[in-house]
Amino acid sequence: MMEAFLFELHVLGLDLNGWLTLAVVLAATVLMAAERLGPDLVMFSALCVLVVAGVVEPREAMVGFADPATVTVGVLFVVARAVQDTGSLSQLAAWLYGNTKDATVALLRLVLPTAALSAFLNNTPIVAMLIPVATGFARRIGTSPGKLLMPLSFAAMLGGTCTLIGTSTNLVVSGLMERQGLAPLGMFELSWVGLPTAVVGILYLLTAGRALLVDRLDPLASAQAEAREYLAEVEVASDSPLIGRRVEAAGLRHLPGLFLVEIRRATGDLLRPVAPEDVLMAGDHLVFTGVAGTIKDLTAMPGLIPTGEIPDPGQELYEVVVSHNSGLVGRTVRGAQFRRRFDAAILAVHRAGERIEGRIGDIVLRAGDTLMLSASPGFRRAWQQGDDFYLVSELAYDGQPRYQKAPIALMSLALMVFLPAFTGTSMTVSSMAALVILLATQCVSPRSARDAVNWPVLVLIGAAFGISRALVDSGAAQGIADVLITATQPFGPYALLAGVYLLTMVFSLFISNAAAAALLFPVALTAAVSSGLDPRPFAIALTMAASAAFATPVGYQTNLLVYGPGGYRYLDFVRVGAPLNALCFAVTMVVVPLVWPL
């Protein structure tokens, strides 16, 4: 009986291991698409099943976790965090975005730098940093944030296809190529197809894509209308780049969710109301009103510091309400020695229905006052059972950017990019060199460096290498390749190339792009070799297809970032993203055979 069953499996082209591998890969794909479990957990569990079943040896299964591509991705997370922590991204964004009031010009100034930055940095922090910038501008000109946020995400994805380090997918494919005896991807090799694709994609986003975007209601508009308004005070530092600039030129007139109420000079003069032409001076105290989510962004602006001590990067933000039983009631912040007593600094104060005048230290606290505090991570544990106040929520805080370190961070990034391009140094070595410089010069703190590493992504990539190996060893990759070859053979090698692209693109719409690339790489390689064709153009096409997850919000992390703030529906991504998928496919099919002949 068993012999007959095995015979039937062989007739279909695969043995038991091959069918088991296909079943495991299919189950993993379905689970990742359903989003009920993290893709890292799904991929690692799938790899464990294949190891236990004897499809792949443990040593071969785990080799991906020590692969240079996996290590490089981990290092790049820290490099991107260093650039972010030094304020380089926020300063560049403010300079490029400017004070334009035209929606088309704003979109152009948003997508071009986003694509350029994403070619060299992890696109997730870039998009995360620009979301409030784009959202604030949209509200200022009276349009929906959805008109800007989806193009922002798509531009980041397009930019990632232009260089080897643009996205982890490119590094994964390069590592897989090297393991199969092929030359790894060069730093700018993908630019031949990535740049034309990005140009066509951006033109589409500025024209037809923009017209296809539905003007969705801003999901935060009603919430912000009812949000607690805080009073916050910051000081213009002695070395601030804002000194000598007018208020409007410094970009302080149209901050999203913030209003500049008054300026208190070090000389004692009071400017109220604040005029656009008022000039900023060292030691000025700027008083803003705004909601919690925007007040905390003040400390991320170059040259502005809270009126108390600068919060330590290890501090966290808390929102608390003064209790009726608190000894703080009826006392000023300074008189109550708040900082010494609670080891916390008050950054902002809210009192319902009343705008509080005067310095924060002189405010007489009342029961029900809501305070935003900068305190140590142990603050919640120490005071949540006390009588002084009720703990309401904990807010994220990234620390004061190290603006003086920005040139070092940018130079390290340039070194990392150009060493492999012009000296033949491996990407792993150049990225590690950049990391050493960034840590040695304190562009990024050890804690921030540890937090920057996205461990689930590394687990996913390491497991994907092992599953890719199992697909080859079990013959499953050959079986799928044979089907693909048979289906496209009457139409020639270009049809096979298109088949590889389309199959990868469909996978990337529903699962992680790195996982899609790793799972289908052995299929693409086997199909090319079995047809007597150069495998390199197939690897390039697969790399491009894996990043073409425009038509769903779940295929790419930046799409998920803008999904909620943009007020989008699932079909919005289909409407705008599907034509962009088609355009990227067309450009790839034209360019790849020209640059990498079949």
In a domain, 593, yes or no: no
pLDDT of residue 595: 94
Query: Tens digit of pLDDT per residue, the chain (598 long)?
Result: 444 434 444 444 667 888 888 888 888 878 876 766 777 788 889 889 999 998 888 888 888 888 787 787 788 778 877 877 787 666 665 665 556 667 778 788 888 888 988 888 777 667 766 776 677 667 666 677 888 889 999 999 999 999 988 888 898 899 889 888 899 988 899 999 999 999 999 999 999 988 898 776 554 444 343 344 556 678 888 888 888 888 887 877 766 556 787 888 888 888 877 888 889 998 898 887 665 555 556 666 777 876 654 444 456 777 777 776 678 888 888 888 888 888 887 776 766 545 555 667 788 888 777 777 777 777 776 776 666 776 555 555 445 566 778 888 888 888 887 787 677 777 788 889 888 998 998 888 888 788 777 777 778 778 877 887 887 788 777 777 778 888 887 888 999 999 999 988 887 876 677 778 887 888 888 889 988 999 999 999 999 999 888 987 766 767 766 776 677 777 888 899 999 999 999 999 999 999 999 8
DSSP 45: H
DSSP, residue by residue, 306-368:
ESSSPPPTT-EEEEEEE-TT-TTTTSBTTTTTHHHHHSEEEEEEE-TT-PPPS-GGGPBP-TT
pLDDT of residue 311: 47
Residue 388 and residue 242 share a domain: yes
Residue 379 and residue 236 share a domain: yes
- In 3D space, the residue among 53, 39, 50 whose CA is nearest the CA of residue 461 turns out to be 39
Q: Range of 319's domain?
A: 227-395
Residue 315 and residue 357 share a domain: yes
pLDDT of residue 220: 44
pLDDT of residue 555: 64
Out of 348, 366, 395, pick the residue that ends a domain.
395
Residue 94 and residue 187 share a domain: yes
In a domain, 292, yes or no: yes
Residue 331, CB half-sphere, CA atoms under 13 Å: how many?
Answer: 13
Proportion of the chain above pLDDT 90, given as a percent? 15
In a domain, 27, yes or no: no
C-alpha 408/C-alpha 318 separation (Å) is 32
CB 88 within 8 A of CB 406: yes
The count of structural domains within the chain is: 2
Residue 279 and residue 203 share a domain: no
DSSP 246: B
Out of 434, 465, 482, pick the residue that ends a domain.
434
Residue 232 and residue 212 share a domain: no
C-alpha 416/C-alpha 434 separation (Å) is 6
Q: CA–CA distance from 571 to each of 155, 159, 579 (Å)?
A: 19, 24, 13
pLDDT of residue 6: 42
Residue 256 and residue 329 share a domain: yes
pLDDT of residue 105: 80
The kind and range of the H/E element at 391 are strand 389-395
In a domain, 576, yes or no: no
In a domain, 124, yes or no: yes
**Whole-model pTM over 0.85:** no
- In 3D space, the residue among 103, 29, 26, 88 whose CA is nearest the CA of residue 515 turns out to be 29
In a domain, 341, yes or no: yes
In a domain, 161, yes or no: yes
In a domain, 554, yes or no: no
C-alpha 20/C-alpha 17 separation (Å) is 5
The tokens for 378 are 């142990």
